[in-house]
Amino acid sequence: MTSTDPSNTSRSTVKTTVLISGASIAGPTLAYWLHRYGFAVTVVEKASAPRGGGYPIDVRGTAIEVVRRMGILPRLREAHIDSRRLAFLDADGGEVASVHPYVLAGSIEGQDLEMGRGHLTATLYATVRDNVEFLFDDSIDTLDQSEHGVDITFRGGDRRTFDLVVGADGMHSHTRRILFGPEERFHRYLGYCFAVFTMPNILGLSHELLMWNTPGRAAALYATGGKEDELHAFLNFHRPEPPLDALRNPEAQADLVTEVFADAGWEVSRIIDAMRGADDLFYDTAGQIRMPGWSSGRVALVGDAAYAPSFLTGQGSSLALVGAYMLANALAANRDHSAAFAAYEHDTREFVAANQALVDHGAAALFPTTAHALEQRNARLRDLVAMPAPTPRPAYTALTLPDCSPKPR
């Protein structure tokens, strides 16, 4: 890599070229910081445009400082959902407890953010699109490393060589599979399957979330806007082993979910009917990615591709933002990419581990698998109503960001 002074906007007359695979959260964030440090950045994305929509996501703790340093915090605050109530329901739809969402999430009201995933990705893309090259409707087909660079063949047929490559292509990362092997080596299944989709606001909900539970099953309706806006629907159920056949067949996925919730009360039958007609249904298993190392040669991974924490932690987007910042900072501060990748992992892994460890708390709070566990959860929820707001979870702020103008080492 070329010697650099990252406090300037250009590294030298010959810039280090970096290909980033993935244009969701980690990818554009990394592209922003690498461009700022003088790298020549290309982002390849298999979708034909930045992905909109998606379930609400959270930006908390250290990740708030990342978006503040990017100058996009005011825009994100404008998109804050401001959920006002989280109500838990029993098998018949009776209310067990009602709390403010911040109480359960351990967030700081007025500081941490919740917004539609599509708003965050659109904001990140708008921030960086004029400064880096984007290749939509394409992806990496083959990757061949040498001491001089990484030869890439794209699925569209083009061939190019880059100094470095970063996989920011999500939990089911193709880049990771090419470099490190099958996902099964690194995937930790957490015992749940889920389906998410949007549906009409059948209950006239506004800025609130209803969570129905029986042992091992949950159905949620989330109103991120007013009574005229559509709902985000969520169906989750426990399975000791992942139903691999259903994962490969969309029709089998819908059939499995329908079967699991066949005798459910409340409004679940209407939610199932909506799922059957949804054009944005997403089905997957709850899991984490845990890897012994996040890089190999000239290729590194960031975000969910390297350390997906699962939606049960609520920290996927925050880890993506922080991880991208830390990787860019390490590359700017180290002339040698091997040293940079080692520094990135050394400085970030403890933060990742602390946030991945939140998964058990999230599972116990939202999706108890036995009648006894559900009774205990409900008792804790009722106690929360009468207690002071809990302190923020230490994991959210377990890393202090280094300066955004590092000196080369």
Q: Tell me, what's the pLDDT at 1?
A: 36
Indicate if 181 and 191 belong to the same structural domain.
Answer: no
Indicate if 51 and 139 belong to the same structural domain.
Answer: yes
Quick check: is 137 in a domain? yes
Q: Tell me, what's the pLDDT at 168?
A: 98
Quick check: is 123 in a domain? yes
Indicate if 24 and 131 belong to the same structural domain.
Answer: yes
Quick check: is 182 in a domain? yes
Q: Tell me, what's the pLDDT at 229?
A: 84
Q: What is the mean pLDDT of residues 169-194?
A: 95
More confident residue, 261 or 252: 261
Name the band, by pLDDT with cuts 50, 70 and 90, for residue 4: very low
Asked if residue 287 lies in contact with residue 189, where contact means CB atoms within 8 angstroms, the answer is yes
Does the pLDDT of residue 3 top 90, yes or no?
no
Q: Tell me, what's the pLDDT at 399?
A: 95
Indicate if 65 and 172 belong to the same structural domain.
Answer: yes
Q: How many Cβ atoms sit within 10 Å of the Cβ of residue 85?
A: 15
Quick check: is 2 in a domain? no
Q: Which of 257, 287, 317 is the last residue of a domain?
A: 287
Does the pLDDT of residue 79 top 70, yes or no?
yes
Indicate if 323 and 213 belong to the same structural domain.
Answer: no
Indicate if 129 and 200 belong to the same structural domain.
Answer: no
Quote the domain boundaries for residue 208.
Answer: 187-287
Q: Which of 240, 259, 287 is the last residue of a domain?
A: 287
More confident residue, 243 or 74: 74
Quick check: is 126 in a domain? yes
Q: Tell me, what's the pLDDT at 319?
A: 98
Kindly state the DSSP code that residue 402 receives in the 8-state scheme: P
Quick check: is 405 in a domain? no
Q: Between vectors from CA 314 to CA 139 and to CA 86, what angle results, nearest 5°?
A: 130
- Rounded Cα distance between 214 and 237, Å, is 10
Percent of the chain with pLDDT over 70: 93
Q: Which of 232, 259, 287 is the last residue of a domain?
A: 287
Centroid of chain to Cα 401? 19
Does the pLDDT of residue 7 top 50, yes or no?
no
Q: Tell me, what's the pLDDT at 5?
A: 39
Residue length of the chain: 409
Q: What is the mean pLDDT of residues 55-66?
A: 94
Indicate if 208 and 260 belong to the same structural domain.
Answer: yes
- Rounded Cα distance between 50 and 66, Å, is 21
Quick check: is 375 in a domain? no
Q: Tell me, what's the pLDDT at 107?
A: 67
Q: Tell me, what's the pLDDT at 239?
A: 93
- Rounded Cα distance between 164 and 182, Å, is 22
Quick check: is 44 in a domain? yes
Domain count, the chain: 2
Find the CATH number of the domain harbouring 210.
3.30.9.30
Q: Tell me, what's the pLDDT at 109?
A: 66
